[in-house]
Amino acid sequence: MSDTRIGFGLYGAGLVAPFHAKALQASSKAKLVAVAGRSPDKVGKLTAEFGCRGYASLEEMLADPAVQVVNILTPNDLHFDAVIACAKAGRHVLVEKPPAVTLRETDAMAQACREAGVKLGVVLQCRVRQPIQAMKAAIAQGRFGRIYHADAFMKWYRAEDYYLMNPWRSSRRAGAGVTVQHAFHYIDLLQYLVGPVQRVTARMSNLAHPRVELEDTLLALVDYANGAQGVVEASTALWPGTDLRIEINGENGTAIMVGEHMEVWKFKEERPEDEGIRQLGDASQATGATGPAALGFQDHQVVIDDMVDAIREGRDPCIPVESVRPTLEWALAMYLSAKEGTAVTLPLVDEDAVW
């Protein structure tokens, strides 16, 4: 029987690459064809473990006709050039989060992919978690009534070594910092569920990583356009690191996801399906709280399989880059608020003022 799986190539062979490789290995729709990166050792390790081809550059990998989709796994400020190169080469793209470090680049990459007729999806895999999908559906059905609060609490821990492993991890311009790097997933969940955001007031500090010039802690107050309010607390300073919490409180119900598990699901009007929804997610699955390797690959696999379906069905991927732009705008507004010590109202008029 012929192999109908779509060929994927990974660009970047660092910490997140094995999660993509394992997801591709487990997929029945996609297969790992090649890895490209500037470190021969890291590329060699992956090609040996996963039985794929290795390339020294993105350009070389793009010359391989078996690579139909490229997953971009380089530091955040390098995503843009790579996406443009893939679009020019007619390849679909899954780019790791955040898609770019500026709104200007995000818009330009979206346009380049549209014009080239290729798909551009973002790896914000927490969106596909079952509890989040259940919250999204309940919000669409109006089950919460008026939403009063939508909060994210990310009390994680990363040792200072993590930030010193590679220069980009401690460079604000390269897209590092707890807000745009780690908390980006959870800011995105709030944006996806309850956004858009109207106004934000943020405070940033460095509590536990003195050799790094970045915020390791974010505290923010949020006003959503729909009248809800919320809090974002995110830190990588809080040893040993505990599971993330996403909380939605409305006039008629409350839902709380802890890690990837539905911890609380309670509505004034109970429905027959609610007991099943309360069981969603695996409470024992690590979700990054204690270290970068404390993570599963199953959510990545859902995003990868969806890209295959999107290509075959001629539709958008489940996390199109346009849907992530407001998340980046909100994150940048938090940097501006922290810098100026004032509330910032969106839309962000001058993104250069952030730096």
Ligand X SMILES: NC(=O)c1ccc[n+]([C@@H]2O[C@H](COP(=O)([O-])OP(=O)(O)OC[C@H]3O[C@@H](n4cnc5c(N)ncnc54)[C@H](O)[C@@H]3O)[C@@H](O)[C@H]2O)c1
**Which stretches of the chain bind ligand X, using CB under 6 A?**
12-16, 37-39, 42, 73-76, 78, 96-97, 123, 125, 166, 181
* Smallest distance, ligand X to C-beta of residue 149, A: 26
Give the residue from 5, 18, 16, 60 showing the smallest Cα distance to 38: 60
Nearest residue (CB) to ligand X, 78 versus 321: 78
Comparing every residue's Cβ against ligand X, the nearest one is 14
Q: Rounded CA gap, 320 and 310, in Å?
A: 11
Q: What DSSP string describes 267-331?
A: ESS--TTHHHHHT-S-TTS-BSSS-TT-B-SHHHHHHHHHHHHHHHHT---SSBGGGTHHHHHHH
Residues 6+ apart with CB under 8 A from 181: 76, 98, 175
Measure CA of the first residue to CA of the last residue in the chain; give whole Å: 55
* Smallest distance, ligand X to C-beta of residue 162, A: 9
Determine contact, residues 192/339, Cβ cutoff 8 Å.
no
* Smallest distance, ligand X to C-beta of residue 42, A: 5
Nearest residue (CB) to ligand X, 35 versus 338: 35
Across the chain, how many H-helices and E-strands are there? 11, 14
Cα–chain center distance at 300: 10
Give the residue from 179, 129, 122 showing the smallest Cα distance to 322: 122
Please state, in angstroms and as integers, the Cα–Cα distance from residue 71 to each residue in 102, 190, 281, following that order: 20, 25, 26
Nearest residue (CB) to ligand X, 171 versus 217: 171
* Smallest distance, ligand X to C-beta of residue 320, A: 16
Nearest residue (CB) to ligand X, 38 versus 146: 38
Helix (H) or strand (E) holding 201: strand 197-205
Provide the residue type at 200 as one letter. Answer: V
Q: Rounded CA gap, 95 and 22, in Å?
A: 17
Nearest residue (CB) to ligand X, 42 versus 339: 42
* Smallest distance, ligand X to C-beta of residue 151, A: 21
* Smallest distance, ligand X to C-beta of residue 274, A: 29
* Smallest distance, ligand X to C-beta of residue 81, A: 9
Give the residue from 223, 232, 229 showing the smallest Cα distance to 344: 223
* Smallest distance, ligand X to C-beta of residue 342, A: 28
Nearest residue (CB) to ligand X, 73 versus 128: 73
Q: Rounded CA gap, 316 and 121, in Å?
A: 8
Nearest residue (CB) to ligand X, 125 versus 323: 125
Nearest residue (CB) to ligand X, 13 versus 189: 13
Nearest residue (CB) to ligand X, 39 versus 205: 39
* Smallest distance, ligand X to C-beta of residue 257, A: 16
Locate 231 and state its tokens.
């809090």
